[in-house]
Amino acid sequence: MAHEYEPPSPDYRLDGFQAATTQIEDDFSSVTLSDDLFVPFSEHHSADGRDSYLLLYDRSAIWDIPGTAEYVTLHITRDIEQRTFDFASEHHPVVPLAQHWLIGRGCPREAADGSPHHGPRPADAVTARLEDLLRTNPGNRYEVLDHYTDNPCSFDVGVEVRTLVYDRHPDSADAPYRLFLEEPTKDMHTYTVREGVFASAEEADTWIVERDSPLPLAPASPGAFGRRAAAARARSTIGGNGLAVAPAPVSPPRSAEPAPTRSRRSTR
């Protein structure tokens, strides 16, 4: 009799450890309540046993508030002498932002990258370049303002993820609001990411609702594209993947000033 594949469980490595405080114990129990639905994307454990970094896909997010991010990160810190632990956790809309969070807390970049066989792959060089920008976020260039994961829970229609950021780069002063749009390709084996440019958050929300024109793409940085990447960018037209569900706005209207980051679910 064939058995359905079940992904491995997250390896917290907490045998013999207890939470440093009752509040930490309660918070950890809350974050991991549905961990039987977590799919490990990457894990790294430091050689001295003091730190563990986990990037997980949260299959339970589809039953949460619509738009909830589907990736969760955990950074577990242990006091080896006292046999206690503490942790920090965050939800993220896309993998590169989750990797950025882990790397910022000390995880080696190569360890945060995950398995090359996990899920759909970037469809082109444009996608890879934009994901690398989000992963490294040089000089804290991007401030995440809002995000929305549109998961119709269908094998016929893939997941679309919209991440609205404020771009602090001087070259973006005239249109500092950037919409990173992740969409699956028709075969569902790969996905694309494109960066739209807007003068205000309201403009971005209007485009998301109406979709009556191609995404206004960000200009390529000098030397950022080879000929193949430039050709892929020129051919790309967002909204042409057959998505039939009209998504909700990324967020309610905001002022033109950058707002604080708002995560739909976060702990500590």
Residue range(s) defining the domain that contains residue 172: 120-268
104 and 134 both lie in a single domain: no
Q: Which of 74, 101, 119 is a domain's end point? A: 119
Same domain, 108 and 176: no
Task: State the pLDDT at residue 96.
Answer: 97
Tokens of 115: 């398995």
> Could you tell me if 78 and 130 lie in one domain?
no
Distances (CA, A) of 243 to 134, 176, 183, 196, 249: 25, 27, 9, 18, 16
Q: Are 147 and 208 in contact (CB under 8 A)?
A: no
> Containing H/E element for 202?
helix 201-210
Looking at residue 257, its pLDDT comes to 41
Q: Are 66 and 248 in contact (CB under 8 A)?
A: yes
Question: pTM of the entire structure?
Answer: 0.81
Ranges 6-10, 135-139, 227-231, most confident: 135-139
Rg (CA), the chain: 19
Q: Is 206 exposed, middle or buried (0-12, 13-18, 19+ CB in 10 A)?
A: middle
- Looking at the chain, the whole-number percentage of residues with pLDDT higher than 90 is 71
148-205 tens-digit pLDDT: 999 998 878 889 999 999 999 999 999 999 999 999 998 889 999 999 999 999 999 9
Residues 102 and 132 reside in one and the same domain: no
Query: Domain end: 119, 147, 169, which one?
Result: 119
Q: Give pLDDT, residue 2.
A: 53
Same domain, 37 and 143: no
Q: What is the mean pLDDT of residues 206-224?
A: 85
For residue range 104-114, what is the model confidence (pLDDT) as tens digits?
Answer: 999 999 999 87
**134 and 53, same domain (yes or no):** no
- Residue 233 confidence (pLDDT): 43
Are residues 208 and 238 both part of a single domain?
Answer: yes
Domain match, 96 and 143 both: no
115 and 128 both lie in a single domain? no
Indicate if 202 and 216 belong to the same structural domain.
yes
Q: What pLDDT score was predicted for residue 67?
A: 96
Same domain assignment for residues 35 and 159: no
Contact 196, 205 (CB under 8 A): no
Same domain, 112 and 7: yes
Give the end of a domain, one of 74, 89, 119: 119
Give residue 154's pLDDT.
81
Q: What is the mean pLDDT of residues 223-237?
A: 44
- Domain count across the chain: 2
Write out pLDDT tens, residues 32-81. Answer: 999 999 999 999 999 999 999 999 999 999 999 999 999 999 999 999 99
